[in-house]
Structure 1
């Protein structure tokens, strides 16, 4: 029977790890629950040993795993421990990076800070997470909120990994293409171009273009121009960061496929945060403002803030969403239904799931098509270069015969 390595917590908060025999992962989880354990992670024994070895090698340089951190806190709080007791349990049984996070939060809690303030002190964390934790404090549903945050972070991590994995091969092709062009430009072209110049004939167009590119790249002032442009761009970004970010965001949203994917995922996350805040008892205007401030698309924020002002003036949420001109008609209709039945949190959560699934579906299709499209484009470029070089070689042969 297969063995599985697990990491779990007792009801007292003490961590326990080991191996268990079971037919599959589901059976292993069931056996651990019957033993009174709150499972944090479980893997096949060989995979777990591999990751343990890898972790021991890199743990000193690793960043904290916020998804596991929040998941462990939720498990411990659901087992009956308080927030500070859960932090102590996580601190005593986690990796060094996570232990530093837990110890820092414990220090703030001991100084009288709230859990949301302690969470807000963490680096590289989405700004809506402290607001969600604050809503969990106010509603008494902090364990549920922490588990929701952990699930969302795991989903984002999986999406980023999928994008990176799908982009590795196209990026490698692109790198090899650039290397091939540079070799042709700086090695082959300088050997071919003088033959045409000596014969008084113009070289093929591709050879002329590559010769011009080589002259630009070899010019002494080229590096200075690139360096100056970079410094000017960095200075403009530092001085007008928000304005430039808004312009870049607006440009991204106009792109045919990328804009649609970004819009669906960003609005889905906005609606998910809004739903969770409303479900935890936060007032409508406060929830709208917090969700708008945390929107990942900068160009959306003015329209979302406009919706906040409209709702504050007495406009229904569905009408405010319609006037923002950001949400699809299906989402606006769902919000109107939620207003009618007085069940907005559930309806908004369903709308968030719908948008995120649409965005994820488009993203999966784009990633699937990206490799063959880039391969075809790069193949066409390589083919044109080969044809150009062969044409040049044949022209040189004609010149030698003359």
Structure 2
């Protein structure tokens, strides 16, 4: 029987991908519809059946990663677009306009063609009788679980405009936080890449020139210069091999990051990397607290809100900690106790959460915790910007200085070689 790859979403927006056997694509689609799933994609599996399954499984993580990257890029919908759309939607709903009319107007107004198609599809689904939240689940690469959950809560409570206002503020803060963290991390990476390119050019182009001069002068090269020449020869002789190995390493890492174990290992590394680990953890705490506060303020029950956060925290280690805390809460624990037991949440968070539980002001306490960590991120970014520039200058200067020192060191003894004459 033919094997098909499928991609479906449930009413909560949870995305599921996999493989299944069916007589035809239509049979498989009908099966999912009977289960209440939104069918996003069904395609013949690579290899066509069981015989091709082994290769598909072996390359599965890499193929899936490439597919998801293409979908994200082709969607053309970034966070700034979502902020603008959500704010406009909130304002127009508050003005009393009908949702279908609003979506029609926003679709016609936007210059983002992929997003226009998304809005038109959502509008058509609503016209066909689906709820707004259910219509959004048809596009999980644009509207994530958090977005769908908040919209669903607003629909059920009859406070959709107010919920959208809250969601707009949340998205704006998320965009600002993400921009600051990315900026702090991107600067040293760019400087490092430039430094490596400069070193590569010096080793491949400059060192051979000096090597030829010293060879014609019959100069005896000191150990540092000999080592530099050996490195230059090795790099020039095996440039293609090095590039191929680097490409394979990048592909291997990329594929590994699509696995649960790979993501967990990388996310744990990010939390502990020198200088940046603290910044990343603070940003995650701000996101977790802000997200949970928004969900609770939208009327979503605590357990459900915790489950949602455990899937959108942005770090596998923290997400698993949230999932474990959620399970312990089902067994009767308090949120402060369960978060403390995971070991992933600072005392600042657990203390404010405990205070919020006792006083019945948990959403407000979480918002205060989020604000505190957002301010901490601002402070950390400013500190890193101050520290990184001189550190990178020292590192680049040390590398370039070492190369120049090794290149010019033979000149100090070149006079003796010149007495014998340059051949």
Q: TM-score range by the shorter chain?
A: 0.7 to 0.9
Are 1:70 and 2:90 an aligned pair? no
- 1:370 to 2:351 alignment: no
- For the residue of structure 2 that corresponds to 1:327, the secondary structure is coil
CA contact (8 A) 1:192 1:392 kept: no
Change in 2 beyond 3 A, CA 1:218/1:125: farther
Give 2:99's aligned residue.
Answer: 83
Which of these residues, 147, 159, 182, is aligned with residue 141 of structure 1? 159
Q: CA RMSD in A?
A: 3.0
CA distance in 1, matches of 2:231, 2:272: 34
Alignment of 1:231-380 (within 5 A): 231-238=251-258, 241-380=259-398
Tell me: CA distance 1:132–1:353, structure 2 relative to 1, closer, same or farther (3 Å). Answer: same
Post-superposition shift, 1:80?
1.7
Instruction: Give the C-alpha shift of residue 109 in structure 1.
Output: 1.6
TM-score (norm. length: structure 2): 0.71
Aligned to 1:119: 136
Q: Deviations over 1:119-158 (max 9, x none)?
A: 3315355442222222222233322222233233333434
Distance 1:319 1:95 in 2: 48
Per-residue Cα deviation, 1:12-38 (whole angstroms, up to 9, x for no partner): xxxxxxxxxxxxxxxxxxxxxxxxxxx
2:124 is equivalent to residue 107 of structure 1: yes
Alpha-carbon contact 2:181-2:279 (below 8 Å) kept = no
Question: What count of residue pairs does the alignment treat as equivalent?
Answer: 341
Of structures 1 and 2, the one with the larger relative CO (CA 8 A, separation 6+) is 2
1:180/1:276 Cα in 2 relative to 1: closer, same or farther (>3 Å)? closer
How much does 1:387 deviate?
Answer: 2.4
Q: CA 1:309/1:158 → structure 2, altered by over 3 Å: closer, same or farther?
A: closer
Residue deviations 1:174-218, cap 9 Å, x none? 454334323321223223335666848344415523532441452
SS of aligned partner of 2:130: coil
8 Å CA contact 1:274, 1:287 repeated in 2: yes
Name the structure 2 match of 1:30. Answer: none
Q: Give me the whole-angstrom Cα distance separating, in 1, the residues matched to 2:188 and 2:246.
A: 26
Rounded Cα–Cα distance in structure 2 between residues aligned with 1:165 and 1:237: 22
* Long gaps (5+) in structure 2: 1-73
Structure 1 residues 228 and 166, CA gap change in structure 2 (3 angstroms)? closer
The alpha carbon displacement at 1:230 in A equals: 4.2
Q: Per-residue deviation at 1:359? A: 2.3
* In 1, Cα distance between equivalents of 2:246 and 2:265: 23
1: CA distance between counterparts of 2:186 and 2:248?
Answer: 31
Q: 1:365 to 1:138 in 2, by over 3 A?
A: farther
Distance in 2 between residues matched to 1:265 and 1:235, nearest whole Å: 26
Distance 2:412 2:363 in 1: 72
Specify the SS of the correspondent of 2:96: coil
Shift in alpha-carbon separation, 1:318–1:61, aligned structure 2, 3 A: closer
Q: Residues 252 and 396 (structure 1 numbering): CA distance in 2 closer, same or farther, change over 3 Å?
A: same
State whether residues 284 and 313 of structure 2, in contact with CA within 8 Å, keep that contact through their aligned partners in structure 1: yes
Q: Which residue of 2 aligns with 1:225?
A: 245
Compared CA separation, residues 361 and 138, structure 1 to 2 (3 A) = farther
- Displacement of 1:246 in angstroms is 0.8
Counterpart of 2:227 (choices 161, 184, 208) is 208
